[in-house]
Structure 1
Amino acid sequence: MEDRRYLPNDRAIQQLVRLRSTVGTIVMTPSQFKDAHFSPLGSFFYFSEQNIANDPLTIALAEREKSNAFKTLSTIIFVSTRDSKGFSVSGYIDLEQSLRSFKTVGVKSHPWAEIFAGHRRLEPDQQDLSFISWNNGKVFYNDSDNYKIIPDAVKGLSFLYKGDGSILTIEKYITEEHSLCTFIESPKHGSAVIYDHRIRRKM
Structure 2
Amino acid sequence: MAYPRPKAATPSIKADFKLINYQDYDDFLLSSGTTQDRCYLDSEEVTRQFAELGYRSTGEAITREEFKKRVAAVNRYLNPRYEPFVMASERLESHSEPVLVELALRERANRVGIISTIIFLRCIEKGVEISGYIDYAHRLGSEDWKPIFTGRKRLKPTVTDLGFYNWQTGRVISNDSFFYRVKCTKRHGLMYQHVYDRLMIMVDPKSPPGENTTKKNIKSDTYEQAYLLDHVVRQRI
Query: TM (normalized to structure 2)?
Result: 0.59
C-alpha contact 2:202 2:209 (8 A) present in aligned 1: no
Deviations 1:97-135 (A, max 9, x none): 1011014xxxxxxxx322211233221110000000011
Hey, which of these two has a bigger chunk of strand by percent? 1
Q: How does 1:29-178 map to 2 (within 5 A)?
A: 43-52=84-93, 54-83=96-125, 85-103=126-144, 112-171=145-204, 175-176=207-208
List, as ranges, runs of 4+ consecutive aligned residues in structure 1 with deviation greater than 3 Å. 173-179
Greater gyration radius: 2
Deviation for aligned residue 1:151: 1.4
Partner secondary structure for residue 48 of structure 1: coil
How much is the aligned-residue C-alpha RMSD, in angstroms? 2.1
SS of corresponding position for 1:47: coil
Counterparts of 1:8-27 in structure 2 under 5 Å?
A: none
Identity %: 32
Query: 1:186·1:192 contact (CA, 8 Å) conserved in 2?
Result: yes
C-alpha distance in structure 1 between counterparts of 2:207 and 2:184, whole Å: 18
CA distance in 2, matches of 1:117, 1:71: 24
Q: Distance in 2 between matches of 1:174 and 1:184?
A: 18
The alpha carbon displacement at 1:51 in A equals 2.9
C-alpha distance in 1 between matches for 2:161 and 2:84? 20
Pairwise CA distance, 1:95: 0.2
Match of 2:232 among 177, 198, 201: 198
Structure 2 residue runs of 5 or longer lacking an equivalent are: 1-82
Bigger relative CO (Cα 8 Å, ≥ 6 apart): 1
Separation of aligned partners in 2, 1:137 and 1:77: 21
Give unpaired runs (5+ residues) of structure 1: 1-41, 104-111
